[in-house]
Chain A
Amino acid sequence: MAKIKTEPLTGKIRVPSIEPGATAHYRANPAKPEHNEALGFPGEKIANWEVKAIEKMGEILDTNRAFRVYMDICVRCGACADKCHYFLGTKDPNNMPVARQELIRKVYRRYFTIGGKYFPEQADACDLTEDVLDEWYNYFHQCSQCRRCSVYCPYGIDTAEVSMVARDIMDSIGVGQKYCNEILGKVLNEGNNLGLAKNALANTLEFFEEDVEEETGVAVKYPMDMKGADVLLIPPSADFFSSPHVDGFIGYGKVFHEAGVSWTVSSYASEFANFGMFIGDNETMKKVAMRIREAALELGVKRIVVGECGHAWRVAYSFWNTLIGPFDFLDPKYKTPTHMCEFTLDLINRGAIKIDKSANDDLVVTFHDSCNVARGSGMGNKPGGQFDVPRDVIKAVCNNFVEMDEETIREVTFCCGGGGGLLTDELLDLRVKGASPRAEALHDVMERKGVNTMAMICAICKAQFTKVLPNYGIGMDMVASVHQLVSNAVVLGGKKGV
């Protein structure tokens, strides 16, 4: 495989000189008719697509007031211009958030403002042409909807929302993206993004049991479809498949075992991820999430705990209640949803599980905040808990923890470069370049503090970094699940549990 050329890391993030059109040709694979149709979209670009796209935009303007405000309120001040990891990495000025949004705003002005209707040139407005649609497709699939730019916008424009609307309009005229739409078809059919059938899931879970028992001598269970379990665990399905995701999943099982809490995964809802958000389609997002409610009812659990998945935590924390709530059938003693990090931290704080921190003494750990957790959710009981809870878990199981530069963490964290439905091979060049700000910040603490492990709580981040960091000369073993660190340190047979 050809290695993608990267600049040597310096530990500093610099704003580059622009190169217009540098990534104009980056194009996500288009969805096939069957991928679009499975979600209720036209299979192929429809004949009167221009008219229908504008109609769709009109509908969204009427129902989504935030979108209308975002279209009207931008003054093109440029505060966002140098905040996007894709702009910093690709130098393409259309990857400045303000410019990316102008691609849709100029069409909005043409059809929905008086100035644009009658004096398009003066209003800087343009028709929705084939070329403009192509630009939409290419550049709205170079936005990972991470919302870092929104933090710096003086008007609070949510750029992710704008990208979601653009994708929603394109889907409605049959111009879908393969990666997202194919995967959404699989989750609606098979219960997970991987297309992992029930027998394969059972085989995978049995393997975990054998593997953990072989390694530790303790029979930790990884149950499936166990009716009457207290906890339904919903992990991202990558936790059943990829490294280091699986190491985190093994950790969840050890925590439940030590706590003495009965738990199960569901073969019907074996996926936390919900790409319905990435394509801006609420109906699909609801259908995907609904499987989780149905599984919880069917299994008769008391609570739902979710695994390490960034965007899905945003969907669960911010949208579940209105999408698939109310959760009055669950035990009201517990918060719904509960993040695995909250669950583990609570046990540690109460002394219900025993930890041997020295098990991680060979590691110097830093934490990568995942964008949707950082800027789209909360965690625990205090403001900023989404930053502190995972860090508190890490600090409770590791002796050596250091932070990366403060301009690159917590609320202003940089995206891994693969979020928002862009974690696909044909966009690898973009993904490598988009990871450069994080790679720089990581390199800095590797040099100054000897960091050898970057932990995170997002399946996309884990897959993206293991793939792209080697392009910067950083090994994939740098990437760790937070519950992998827990897994290393939890003492099996150490406590009586809750």
Chain B
Amino acid sequence: MSELLKLADGIVERARPGEQVEAYLGRSHHTEVKVFDGGVESLSSADTQGVGVRVIVDGRQGFAYAASLDETIVAETLEEARDNAAFGTVDEYLGLVAPDGVEPVDLDLYRPELASFPTDRKVEMALELERAVRAADSRIRGLESAEYGDSTSESAIATTQGIRATTRRSGCSIVASALAGEGTGTMTGTGYSVARTPEDLDMAKAVKDAAEKSTRLLGARKPASRRVTVLLDPSVSSSFLGLLSSGLSASSVIKGRSLFAGRVGEAVAVPFLTLVDDPTEPLAWGAGRYDAEGLASRRNVLISGGVLQGFLHNSYTGRRCDQPSNASAVRGGYRSTPGVGSRALSLTPGDRTQEQLMADVGDGLLVQSVTGLHSGANPISGDFSVGVEGLLFRDGAPAEPVREATIASTLQRMLLDLVAVGGDREWLPGGAAGMTLVIGDVQLSGS
């Protein structure tokens, strides 16, 4: 039995009569190598561990966490959570989830070889990444950053209601940001690769992306304002899917913060759009055997044929809506109580490549990167306006690069203005997959 689960059991055993207690324990090990100008700038290695304790008693909830598994501190944390519960509002729907009999799918998320991968080779990979990006194109004058990072983590949940779940995962990444051109004409481009183990990292792809994305923007100018058809690159469409995700949480619906509230059974998107959250998909970065309350993960269809099917639930929202949790509890580690959210959101991919889609569309803007998503997109009203860099294309072929421009629409309209979904699905860190999306009639603002 995992050591963490044993510790979690130890906390739960101390529950008093009438109390529901949940102990969530997490432990992780990280390594990060940053290189600059052919040398190691920093090498960090760190172990993190902590506990989050939730106590529900007399219809009230309290929570406390500590970044330590020290016995005295853990005991204090339980006491604090217990004390905090006295100040919550009584809510009859509060309660820990009971096991629902669904068996978890075995996912291959932990690779022991990462733990034994030598640090020197991690350093070499970061140095090689920097060298290769620099050598990829003579117009690249340097790198803003080049780094290798990895982590292995495990967590355990135990509750007085009989939940006992453990998870282990490993992951690593390389990421480089290239600087191309000189002075005020400088442009940047990022390339990366993520995998469960270093052997699976795609160095060539990371290098090619950083080099191409920075150099193809050289000479970029502010475009004239107009309405355009846009192609969103996979990394961009993944961020947009992430924005939709909050509206699909039953918690947002119940609290009147969802633009999808009251629309189950209605057409909210074009008929060829199907949106699924499937954390049992092993390729998904957010895949996991269990949700954050310890129920086995499952596949949830949210939009099918353009029609809204339902929402993501944890046990609390499920109780409020008189239905079971669909195992969509998420939490930011041991520091917070479970909320509701997606972990592996994806549209059903189409079958066209980005180049083919560009040819199909003819004239438009390929959006390579966006900025200001947090300041310019409001998932409640649906309004969005974001800074963009990318390439205009004409007659299906790349034309002038653009910078210092924005695109704006609403999330509601975007789902109805979707023209095509690419076949180039990429699973990215974060809760959503990316693929090229074609969206018609978006406002481009420039000069």
A and B, one complex?
A: no
Interfacial residues, chain B to chain A (CB-CB below 8 A): none
On A, residues with C-beta under 8 Å from B are none
